[in-house]
Amino acid sequence: MSDALTDIARDERRARNVNNFLRGLIDYLQGNLNEEEVIRRAKIASGGRHGYFSGPVDLVTGLDKELKQLKRGTQKTWAKALFRYRNSDIFFHILCHLSPWKLSKIVCVDYGMGFARVIRYPEDFLIKEGDINKAISEKDWITYDCDDYLVVFYSDNSRKVFWIGNSTGYQCKDNVYRWLERPRKRSEWTGSGTMEQREKYCR
2, pLDDT greater than 80: no
CA torsion sign for 42, 59, 33, 87 is negative
**d(C-alpha 31, C-alpha 70), whole Å:** 12
Q: At what angle do helices 90-98 and 4-29 cross, to 10 degrees?
A: 20
pLDDT, tens digit, 9 for 90 and up, residues 108-125: 999 999 999 999 999 899
95, pLDDT greater than 70: yes
pTM equals 0.90
Question: Helix (H, G, I), strand (E, B), or coil: what is residue 159?
Answer: strand
CB of 106 within 8 A of CB of 150? yes
Residue ranges of the domains in the chain? Answer: 1-72, 169-201
pLDDT, tens digit, 9 for 90 and up, residues 51-77: 455 566 788 999 999 999 999 999 999
CB of 15 within 8 A of CB of 53? no
User: What is the mean predicted confidence (pLDDT) over 159-186?
Assistant: 96
Give the model's pLDDT for residue 15: 80
Alpha-carbon distances, residue 75 vs 15, 131, 162, 184, 195 (angstroms):
27, 22, 9, 20, 32
What's phi and psi for 142, nearest 5 deg?
-90, 140
CB of 110 within 8 A of CB of 136? no
Determine the length of the chain. 203
CB of 119 within 8 A of CB of 125? no
Is there a cis peptide before residue 100, judged by omega within 30 degrees of 0? no
CB of 118 within 8 A of CB of 147? no
Secondary structure (H, E, C), 69-93: HHHHCCHHHHHHHHHHCCCCCHHHH
Q: What percent of the chain has pLDDT over 90?
A: 81
Band (pLDDT 50/70/90 cuts) for residue 173 is very high
